[in-house]
Amino acid sequence: MRLWVMMTLAFCLVGAVPSQGAEVMRSSFPVRTDSHQCHDVRGAQVSSIRFDNLRDVAHAVIMNHTPYIVLNPTRLKTLPPKLQAFFYEHECAHHILGHNYNPTLSSEPEADCLAIKVGRDKGLFARADVLAFRPWIEPLRGSLRGHLPGRQRHRLMTLCYDDDEPDPLMAERMDVAAAAATRFRKAARRRASE
């Protein structure tokens, strides 16, 4: 299976979500894996794949020019539903921002921030939900790929929740993604009517 090869090109969400030292809540899975809920920077629909042997909670990958979110059900089902939703939004944010095509050291914080803001604006996350992520996020180590150490990471997530000012670069990227999604939907409707 070539999946693992593609993983090397993928963005991972976290090194490992701690299952000890933090309250582990069993919850239903998946929270959100509807392919219509995520579009990438080109406007393509992002489907979800379940892969139990994934070393992380989730990955954003491109396979055969098609964007996917790979989810690890075994790890995700140990987490609260809102945190599962955050992980999904984080991977979707990588696709929205085109990070698989143009990765930078700020890709991970950008994905965290956009995931929080998108979840907030959709009414998915209350501020208390983001604060409640702390026992899971804070113990995480940072990574050379750009993951912030857990304490900083959670603080950034909270700041992003509180930030109402549109980020010009982020706003521009979101506009590009939204426009591409509209084009994609129109093209799909045209194909369906042919």
Binding residues with Zn ion: total (CB under 5 A): 4
> Which residues lie closer than 8 Å to 39 by C-beta, 6 or more apart?
45, 46, 95, 96, 177, 180, 181, 184
By the rule CB under 5 A, 114 interacts with Zn ion: no
Q: Which amino acid is at 193?
A: S
CA–CA gap between residue 109 and residue 114 (Å, rounded) = 9
| Nearer residue to Zn ion within complex by CB, 111 or 174 | 111
- The DSSP output letter for 104 is -
By the rule CB under 5 A, 87 interacts with Zn ion: no
Spatial strand order of the sheet with 47-50 comes to: 11-12, 58-63, 66-71, 47-50
Asked if 61 contacts 9 with a C-beta cutoff of 8 angstroms, the reply is yes
| Nearer residue to Zn ion within complex by CB, 41 or 111 | 111
By the rule CB under 5 A, 136 interacts with Zn ion: no
Residue from 167, 185, 48 nearest 116 by CA: 167
Map tokens 């393509």 to a residue.
44
Work out how close the CB of 175 gets to Zn ion at its nearest, in angstroms, rounded to a whole number: 22
Map tokens 């950008």 to a residue.
110
| Nearer residue to Zn ion within complex by CB, 158 or 185 | 158
| Nearer residue to Zn ion within complex by CB, 101 or 189 | 101
By the rule CB under 5 A, 133 interacts with Zn ion: no
By the rule CB under 5 A, 11 interacts with Zn ion: yes
Residue from 145, 108, 5 nearest 61 by CA: 5
Work out how close the CB of 134 gets to Zn ion at its nearest, in angstroms, rounded to a whole number: 18
By the rule CB under 5 A, 13 interacts with Zn ion: yes
CB-nearest residue to Zn ion: 11
| Nearer residue to Zn ion within complex by CB, 102 or 193 | 102
Work out how close the CB of 99 gets to Zn ion at its nearest, in angstroms, rounded to a whole number: 8
Chain residues in the site for Zn ion (CB under 5 A): 11, 13, 108, 111
